[in-house]
Homo-oligomer: A and B are copies of this chain.
Amino acid sequence: MPRFRLDIEYDGGPYAGWQRQAGQHSVQAAIEQALEKFCGEAVTLRGAGRTDAGVHATGQVAHIDLMKDWRPDTVRDAVNAHLQQAGERVAVLAASVVTEDFDARFSARARHYVYRIANRRAPPALDKGKVWWVPKRLDAEAMDAAAKQLLGRHDFTTFRSAQCQANSPLRTLDRLDVMRSGDTIEVFASARSFLHNQVRSMVGSLKKVGEGAWTSADLKAALDARDRAACGQVAPPDGLFLVSVNY
């Protein structure tokens, strides 16, 4: 059974998240249904990142085992045709054949996210649902400086959802950069893996620094507290994009 890697883009808005759930429509289910229509097999897709409801992706990665040696481009085009027909907001950017030891979830060495904030008085008209609207002016440089305290290996309990199923709250954060470009602020976060809601929890807390409600030291104290109650705010899913995964 050949194994295929799929690189996937989606608008998370209409979905209950990546993961298949009874009674709800997920990105995973949308692609599995399209695959089944294409090849007649009931298949299970495994994704690199289980993004939450409303979170988007420009570079989600998943793998799948099929019965036949399909040409990868045929898989991509056929699945996209079925996704389009079903009105899904999901597209397969690329399909490729990988070896059996490739596992989209467990082979991932780094996951890269970007979180976008529209920092302006006017609400977003064109990017509605794809950005967090923060009308109050944020100090992006202060956010960036404070963010550096979260780099490295830490117990991220403060920035972890109560529903997080990971065995350990320890994670190694490799990148957390905050950059302003006009009215847009982007937060770039990279790690081998993240805890549930970790990026949104960090961004929500950084926003407190940006608006002056928290000092840089307050952010460090929140991390050190190792207490979910110390988290500043969980940023909404709208602004979050899974950008790429390294293997």
Instruction: Say how far A122's CB is from chain B's closest CB, in angstroms.
Output: 4
Contact between chains at B84 and A126 (CB < 8 Å): no
Contact between chains at B126 and A80 (CB < 8 Å): no
Instruction: Report how many copies the assembly holds.
Output: 2
Task: Give Cα distance in the complex from A81 to B228, angstroms.
Answer: 34
Determine the residue in chain B with the shortest Cβ distance to A124.
B91
Q: Classify the interface of chain A: helix, strand, loop or mixed.
A: mixed
Task: Give Cα distance in the complex from A211 to B15, angstroms.
Answer: 36
Using a CB-CB cutoff of 8 Å, which residues 119-149 of chain A contact chain B? 120-126, 128, 130
User: Which residues in B have their C-beta under 8 angstroms from that of A46?
Assistant: none
Contact between chains at B9 and A91 (CB < 8 Å): no
Q: A89 touches which one: B77, B84, B128 (CB < 8 A)?
A: B128
Contact flags A65-85 to B (C-beta < 8 A → 1, else 0): 000000001001100100110
Instruction: Say how far A72's CB is from chain B's closest CB, in angstroms.
Output: 11
